[in-house]
Chains A and B, each alone.
Chain A
């Protein structure tokens, strides 16, 4: 079926099976391999994307559900070669090790910061509770989100 939606800021139409998982559509059909699959069952957060600004799991969504939505993947965050402040903080604070959970953790952090622009460390931990990471012990991810929240707030002030 034909499905119209916006992907990383641009309108797009895809023609695919209605029940194709969004993760497969993104990775296999559209070549956007930033979102990762690690469990296929909503337990790990690696496949997180933003749907109309909300963090959702692309392994638990079917292509038909994208109709009319605004989709953001990790590939859509940097603009004109400049990293999003959250990405910048992940790099600088050492939040990236093997990196397979990183795109999902970045997307979950965006969802968190949209709802709570100035979270306490414990709130950041809760916000990332669905994103399993096997390398970092989470501490530097928390550091990165904390640092990014301060930078993003500063930028948003006039």
Chain B
């Protein structure tokens, strides 16, 4: 039998973690319990974070928004601050897994799990989100792209947890797009995905561009070359098709049971074409 702890506050959690460093931390359990069942992990104790108020909920901090790590996807989906400031995140969460998994799983779990297919990650990369890491002694922040170093690998030390994520408001972005390619419409693991935040001028020229692709590399992919290539251009198909070639070079996908590297590479580029529709609407 494995002990299951339900800390009510971070201080209580620190005690538990210091007592036994092989204590696994989880919140929704939608990944951890699957891994336990599959025999892939064998922690000596479990600590469930779902009741620690300090790391739950969405807080407006003026220029930025703080989202607690143990905030469920459903909570974010229904939160008007998130949907008005970061519609690209809301769009991603809307197609994340299934309703019950969204009721359980949390944004912190999605970040720490660090799957290249994690649905909230491309939006967080495109929004230049920062992860707040806390231990009993200190709190620090780092960009999500620095925090995640590989599939399932993050910069998290012993007795540290992710407290939440900070996202700067960026009203200048007037095109916020997310698309996931999966093997079916819902409850699908991403084969490729694209999150995009663009600022279009009144004349339709791209003034700022941040794009991030999921499932086409060991971590979410951003490409300065691609983003620069878009600047000053209009969202029309010919231009996007040209830039798609750059995307194909920027990504480094693998073959797996869901799709070939070739398909992922092609689709990563072609997903740009959908932005032409946003161009028309603006």
Task: Please list the residues of chain A having a beta carbon within 8 angstroms of any beta carbon in chain B.
Answer: 17-19, 21, 40-43, 45, 48, 54-57, 59-65, 67, 108, 111-112, 115, 126-127, 129-131
Given contact pairs A64-B6, A65-B6, A48 touches B1 in the complex (Cβ within 8 A): no
**Which residues of chain B are within 8 angstroms of A130 by Cβ–Cβ distance?**
97-101, 186-187
Q: List 5 A-B contacts (CB under 8 A).
A: A56-B104, A108-B100, A115-B78, A130-B186, A131-B98
Q: Is the CB of A129 within 8 A of B46?
A: no
Question: Smallest CB–CB gap between B282 and chain A, Å?
Answer: 26
B101's nearest neighbour on chain A, judged by CB, is A42
Check B33 for interface membership: any CB of A closer than 8 A.
Answer: yes
Question: Smallest CB–CB gap between B7 and chain A, Å?
Answer: 12
Q: Is the CB of A57 within 8 A of B37?
A: no
Inter-chain CA distance A129–B34, complex, in Å, is 19
Question: Smallest CB–CB gap between A20 and chain B, Å?
Answer: 8
**Which residues of chain A are within 8 angstroms of B33 by Cβ–Cβ distance?**
21, 42, 59-62
Instruction: Please give 16 more A-B residue pairs, beta carbons under 8 A apart, in addition to A19-B1, A56-B100, A129-B98.
Output: A41-B37, A42-B30, A42-B34, A45-B100, A55-B99, A55-B100, A59-B33, A60-B33, A61-B104, A62-B33, A62-B46, A62-B48, A129-B186, A130-B98, A130-B99, A130-B100
**Which residues of chain B are within 8 angstroms of A65 by Cβ–Cβ distance?**
4, 6, 29, 48, 50
Q: Is the CB of A112 within 8 A of B37?
A: no
Inter-chain CA distance A60–B104, complex, in Å, is 9
Indicate the size class of the contact surface on chain B: 20 to 34
Task: Please list the residues of chain B having a beta carbon within 8 angstroms of any beta carbon in chain A.
Answer: 1-6, 28-30, 33-34, 37, 46, 48, 50, 74, 78, 97-101, 103-104, 185-187
Given contact pairs A108-B99, A127-B99, A19 touches B2 in the complex (Cβ within 8 A): yes
Question: Smallest CB–CB gap between B258 and chain A, Å?
Answer: 14
Question: Smallest CB–CB gap between A67 and chain B, Å?
Answer: 6
Q: Of the candidates B2, B5, B103, which one forms a contact with A56 in the assembled complex, judged by CB atoms under 8 Å apart?
A: B103
Most chain-A Cβ atoms within 10 A of its Cβ — which of B28, B98, B100?
Answer: B100
Inter-chain CA distance A45–B185, complex, in Å, is 16
Q: Is the CB of A45 within 8 A of B98?
A: yes
**Which residues of chain B are within 8 angstroms of A112 by Cβ–Cβ distance?**
99
Q: Of the candidates A19, A21, A40, A57, which one forms a contact with B104 in the assembled complex, judged by CB atoms under 8 Å apart?
A: A57
Q: Of the candidates B48, B100, B187, which one forms a contact with A48 in the assembled complex, judged by CB atoms under 8 Å apart?
A: B100
**Which residues of chain A are within 8 angstroms of B104 by Cβ–Cβ distance?**
56-57, 60-61
**Which residues of chain B are within 8 angstroms of A131 by Cβ–Cβ distance?**
98
Q: Is the CB of B48 within 8 A of A55?
A: no
**Which residues of chain B are within 8 angstroms of A64 by Cβ–Cβ distance?**
4-6, 48
